[in-house]
Amino acid sequence: WLRAVNAALTCEQPLTDKIRFGTLKLNKQLILNTWSGILMDEDSLLDDWTYKGVLV
């Protein structure tokens, strides 16, 4: 189950990137709301965990 959830999350996360997908991108708030309450250690995540940048 955990592997399936991680796979779905990994697929959806980059689809919110406007630069890569332009008008075809998924609504970021929809993704955040969909996964709310499902993620492990959700309180320790950034408010916008869809961003895949590097923290410096």
pLDDT attached to residue 54: 58
Dihedral angle computed from the Cα positions of residues 15, 19, 25 and 27, in that order, rounded to the nearest 10 degrees = 90
pLDDT at position 53 over 70? no
Question: pTM here?
Answer: 0.70
Dist CA 17 CA 27 (whole Å):
9
Dist CA 12 CA 22 (whole Å):
15
State the pLDDT confidence band at 45, using cuts at 50, 70 and 90: confident
State the pLDDT confidence band at 40, using cuts at 50, 70 and 90: confident
- Helical spans, DSSP H, in 1-56: 2-12, 18-21, 28-35
Residues 6+ apart with CB under 8 A from 49: 13, 32, 39
pLDDT at position 56 over 70? no
> What is the mean pLDDT of the segment spanning 24-50?
88
